Amino acid sequence: MRLGQRRIFYGWVIVAGLMCSSAVITAMGGVNSGQFIKPMTEELGIGQTWFGWAQTARLLSFAASSWVIGRLIDARGARLPMVTAGAVMGLVLLGLSQVQEGWQIVVLFGIAGLTGLQGAGGNLYNSVPLSRWFVRKRGRAMSVAFLGTPIGIFLFAPLTQFLIDDYGWRTAWMALGATGAMVVGAVALLIVRRAPEDMGLLPDGDAAPAPVMDWAGVPRAVASAEYSWTRAEAIRTPTFRRLAAVDGLRMVAVATLGLFRIPFYVDQGIDAGVVALALSAEALVGMAITVPVGWAVDRFQPRYISAFATATMITTFLVTIFVSTPVHVFVATILLASAP
């Protein structure tokens, strides 16, 4: 029996695969980057400023490459770009295990940004393919795929700290790079496919085009709900420019907090192992709310959900400023997880 005739829609197989890849991407210089700052700066004799410049280089290179990567995935599919990105990220982490100067970290983080493997909502290899495979259930599918991020944090935050404490930060970078490259490559080659039409299927696994319900519960035809904007048309709209500006500022804020909060907590006298456990608690909360958020996105106006997330993120910043005990760390990390 052909796979397209089975009970499970193949789009959900892709969702499961992308969830696995998202999990390991968090360990490839993602959320766990902050766990490397203290040991690397102490051994190399460099300031934490270098990591600030490295994060800036990563975000700028991601912004520059995302246009090209998005168009490539949209036209040719995600398989080969994803394999290439995973291999390059593996080499980047291998390079990080060998650095001797601060500027080398900046260069390597810049190359990492070019791959487009940012994790979470910034991962083009999740959002672009899933937008082809799902229409009515897109929010639900993306929320399940993005469950990989909190799962990855839950698994790899303590594992990263264990590797650093017992084997050193250089070995930790190498182990995480090799694991990530293999998993991302395997998911891309064995599971990911360009579009349902290539397999004789329709989006959402429908037997025929189905009506799409808008945020108010009013049925709309798929064609009218999914008008395909060209890039030039989208860029010219004020809405797109406002969304791009807000999302860019949000990414910078979250990336900065995510990178420097870990050494900041340690500087406040919090044990690094406790911080790793707090990150795991953050991941558990993230796993608990990710799917409900996807359900809400399919049913309510996204602007309200985004406003709630932004307000929660601002609160997290304020709480982080006053962290002085392990309890404060857990409160701050859980609050950040509550900002979908």
The answer to whether the predicted template modeling score (pTM) of the entire model surpasses 0.85 is no
Give the residue, 212 or 35, on which the prediction is more confident: 35
The pLDDT value given to residue 209: 57
Q: Report whether 159 contacts 184 (CB < 8 A).
A: no
Q: Report whether 315 contacts 182 (CB < 8 A).
A: no
CATH of 3-204+221-337, picked from 1.20.1250.20, 3.90.1150.10, 3.30.70.890, 3.30.70.3340, is 1.20.1250.20
Secondary structure class of 340 (helix, strand, coil): coil
Strand extents, DSSP E, the chain = 212-213, 219-220
The DSSP output letter for 116 is: T
**Torsion from C-alpha of 134, 79, 227, 6, nearest 10 degrees:** -30
Report the sign of the C-alpha dihedral through residues 277, 281, 283, 284, in that order.
positive
- Predicted confidence band at 221 (pLDDT cuts at 50, 70, 90)? very low
- What's the mean pLDDT in 108-123? 80
**Closest C-alpha to 162, from 175, 179, 148:** 175
Residue 120 above 70 pLDDT?
Answer: no
- Per residue in 45-69, pLDDT (tens digit) is 999 999 999 999 998 998 889 888 8
| Residue 242, H or E segment | helix 238-267
Q: State how far the Cα of 190 lies from the Cα of 184, in Å rounded to an integer.
A: 10
**Closest C-alpha to 82, from 118, 117, 110:** 117
Q: State how far the Cα of 119 lies from the Cα of 121, in Å rounded to an integer.
A: 6
- Per residue in 155-214, pLDDT (tens digit) is 999 999 999 999 999 999 999 999 999 999 999 999 999 888 888 888 888 776 555 555
Tokens 């799409």 correspond to what residue? 212
The pLDDT value given to residue 223: 43
The pLDDT value given to residue 324: 92
Please report, for residues 230, 252, 337, the alpha-carbon distance to residue 258 in angstroms, rounded to integers and kept in the order given: 34, 10, 11
- Predicted confidence band at 244 (pLDDT cuts at 50, 70, 90)? confident
Extract the tokens encoding 261.
């909060």
The pLDDT value given to residue 222: 46
The pLDDT value given to residue 219: 52
Residue 111 above 90 pLDDT?
Answer: yes
Region of residue 237 (phi > 0: left; psi between -120 and 50: alpha; otherwise: beta):
beta
Rounded to the nearest 10 degrees, the angle between the axes of helix 10-25 and helix 169-190 is 170
| Residue 156, H or E segment | helix 148-167
Give the residue, 249 or 273, on which the prediction is more confident: 273
- Per residue in 320-337, pLDDT (tens digit) is 999 999 999 999 999 888
The DSSP output letter for 198 is: G
The pLDDT value given to residue 228: 63
All residues at 6 or more sequence positions from 204 whose CB lies less than 8 Å from its CB, including other chains: 9, 11, 133, 134, 135, 136, 137, 210
